[in-house]
Amino acid sequence: MALKARNLHRDLGYFYIGLIISFAFSGILMNHRDSWHAEKYTVETKAIQVKFPSEKNITEKFAKELGKKLGIEDKMRRYKLDGGTLKISFEKNDVEIDTKTGKGEIVSYIKTPILSQMIKLHKNTSNWWIYYGDVFGISLIVIAISGTLMIPAGKFSFKQRGWKLALAGIVFPLLILILLG
C-alpha cells in the first residue's frame, strides 16, 4: 500500500509540478496585488484636464468617447463613477479624473511577461480550464492523501505524528478566518 501511494504521489507530483509552482507563485503575487501589480508595469503617466457634463450624463458611451478624445485606441473594459472620480479601465491604459475639477491622469502600462500569463491562468474561467482545474484539485487531494500513506508505520508515520501536523494545518487557517471574520 505504501509503495502504491508513493508511486501515485510521485507521478502526480511530477505531472503537476509546473502548475503547482505557477499557481503558488501567482497566488503569492495576487495576495499582494493591492500594493504591487505584478501583472503589469507602468510605462507612462500623463496629466490631463477634461471638461465634464453633469454626473448623470457620464455613461458608458461618454467614457468610450472620452477615451477616443484622449487618444486612447485600445478597448475599454469598464468604467466606474465613484465619489466624484471617474475611473475608466482600458486594455493598456487606466484613466482617473476628478469630475469636479476635471484634473486627472492617464496611466499607460504593459503586461509583465511570464508573470501576467501565470496570473491569467489563476484567474481564467473558460470552460475547458475550469474542468482542468477540477482535475488538478482532485489530484491535489490525491497527492495529499497519498502523502499520508507513503511513510510506513513508525514514529514519523501519519498515524503517529502526521495527523497532529495535519490537524494544526487545518485549525490554524480556521482560527484566522474566525478571528478576522
Q: Render 7-65 in DSSP notation, one character per residue.
A: HHHHHHHHHHHHHHHHHHHHHHHHHTTTT--TTEEEEEEEEEE-----GGG--HHHHHH
For the chain, give the number of residues: 181
Phi-psi region of 81 (alpha: psi -120 to 50; beta: other; left: phi over 0): beta
pLDDT (mean) for 95-115: 92
The set of cell numbers assigned to 95 is 484613466
**How far apart (Å, rounded) are the C-alpha atoms in residues 113 and 156?**
43
The better pLDDT of the pair 155, 50 is held by 50
pLDDT (mean) for 123-148: 85
Q: What 3-state class would DSSP assign to 92?
A: coil
Answer whether 56's CB lies under 8 Å from 47's CB: no
Q: Identify the pLDDT of residue 79.
A: 95
Q: Identify the pLDDT of residue 155.
A: 83
Rg, Å, the chain Cα set: 24
**How far apart (Å, rounded) are the C-alpha atoms in residues 13 and 45?**
44
pLDDT at residue 34 greater than cutoff 80: no
Residue 107 carries which DSSP code? Answer: E
Q: What is the pTM of this model?
A: 0.57
Q: Cell 487531494, residue? A: 141
